[in-house]
Amino acid sequence: MADQQQPRIAVLLPCYNEEAAVAQTIAGFRSALPAATVYVYDNNSRDRTAEVARTAGAIVRTERQQGKGHVVRRMFADVDADVFIMADGDLTYDPGAAPAMVEQLLAEQLDMVVGTRQHEAKDAYRGGHVIGNRLFTSLLAGLFGRSFTDIFSGYRVFSRRFVKSFPVLSSGFEIETEMSVHALELRMPVGEQATVYGVRPEGSASKLSTFRDGWRILSTIATLYRIERPVLFFGSVGALLVGIAIALSVPLVMTYLQTGLVPRFPTAILVTGMIIVAVLCFFAGLILDTVTRGRREMRRLAYLAYPAPGPVTETTHSL
């Protein structure tokens, strides 16, 4: 006889100085998903975040390494569930949208559902962040072939096989970018769902630095492109060097054809060196592509070690 059990749902809230909002956030998710277990991972808060979260009914744990990426790594390693919901503890994401996102994940057997932010309040989302989000989303689509509507959304629902196959290399707010690339590179089935993005309550402040974290995100995209697309990355560098070398060599060739002499010998040496480096770049890309394919296969095998999301079926045998 086969019985269907409800999937175990874990709500993961990374928090840093969210005393003013964490209790309301926990209450919202407990109301929306009564059967879910809410975890708060405190990241060295200097206020009463941990105490308030514990009083509100969450399981509170601490991550000492500073940065959201470190917290996500710890959460994904420690918590075991069938469905994982990640949000911020500042009440900007709507807990009421969680049931529909979970239902979409299970019904369509997806590995990630991203809550795309729809902000009506003027102060909910800074103008610079809106522009940056659009630019980085377009950049990611151009580099990896496809993307999401909102790659920086921290409101996501994951399957168990996504969480347990995700290596988590980032340390800060660039973690959402890494999640998006992980899903794209393994060709995971993913979805999106529009969610309301609200204003932080009084006493809660954003931890995101527009320029510092924007630079870190750009560096992360470049690093991931180098790792996941080595042939294109190093091939582009090699092609650029070849182009510059050809431009520099044209006057030398013209002079040589006219006079039989090479008057700018240092330039000729430079051109030769650039061509050699370009050839090395091409070969480096080919060699690293083999390594990347092996790593991708290992991640794919780790991903396939877990069943697709859906109702948990338990088979029992009657005596």
pLDDT given for residue 160 in this prediction: 94
pLDDT at residue number 311: 65
* pLDDT at site 219: 84
**Domain end position, chosen among 194, 228, 262:** 228
Predicted local confidence at residue 16, as pLDDT: 92
Predicted pLDDT of residue 168 = 86
Tell the residue number behind the tokens 């974290």, with chain if given: 213
* pLDDT the model gives residue 117: 86
Query: What is the C-alpha separation between 52 and 50, in angstroms, rounded?
Result: 6
pLDDT of amino acid 70: 93
Domain that holds residue 191: 2-228
- Answer yes or no: do 179 and 271 share one domain: no
198-to-55, 95, 126 alpha-carbon distances in Å: 24, 11, 12
Burial of 141 (0-12, 13-18, 19+ CB in 10 A): middle
- Residue 312, domain member (yes or no): no
Residue 145: C-alpha distances to residues 142, 215, 229, 268 (Å): 6, 22, 11, 39
pLDDT of residue 120: 59
CATH of the domain at 62: 3.90.550.10
Residues in the chain with pLDDT < 50? Answer: 1-2, 124, 315-319
- The count of structural domains within the chain is 2
Closest CA to 33 of 71, 79, 77, 82: 82
Confidence (pLDDT) at 258: 82
| pLDDT at residue 2, as a whole number | 47
Position 80 scores a pLDDT of 94
Strands (E), 18-175: 37-42, 59-62, 83-86, 112-118, 156-159
Tokens 């995101």 — which residue?
208
